[in-house]
Amino acid sequence: MAEKTLELYIKDGCPFCHKVLSFMKKNGIELPLHNISRSEEDLNHLVEVGGERQVPCLFIDGAPLYESGDIVAYLAKEFAVGATSADEAAPAGGVCTIGGGCSF
């Protein structure tokens, strides 16, 4: 079975990005990271390919997955690890928009 290509798009100051990154760190998951706060190229790719102006966004073989709770759940299943806290295990999540605030 072919390995999936996974890439995570984040931005500085996004609490939902932090939630995903914290889960990854606790579980030893390393993925290519693209910080849209620091790279206009990554920002443009996120909008053009993902179709949404929000983060976190996990690209799975080029297809976007949004919402921090959904991303954590996907990574937990893909890497066969458990969520390490009730907050991470909860399906609820949220996103932050590129030029605006965050929502649950």
The C-alpha atoms of residue 88 and residue 76 are separated, in whole angstroms, by 10
pLDDT digits (tens, 9 = 90+) for 35-94: 999 999 999 999 999 999 999 999 999 999 999 999 999 999 999 997 655 444 444 677
Helix (H) or strand (E) holding 81: none
Q: For residue 99, which phi and psi values (nearest 5 degrees)? A: -110, 10
Instruction: Quote the Cα angle for 2-60-103, to 5°.
Output: 160
- The CATH H-level (homologous superfamily) assignment of domain 6-82 is Glutaredoxin (3.40.30.10)
The C-alpha atoms of residue 104 and residue 16 are separated, in whole angstroms, by 9
Domains in the chain: boundaries: 6-82
pLDDT digits (tens, 9 = 90+) for 8-35: 999 999 999 999 999 999 999 999 999 9
Q: For residue 63, which phi and psi values (nearest 5 degrees)? A: -100, 135
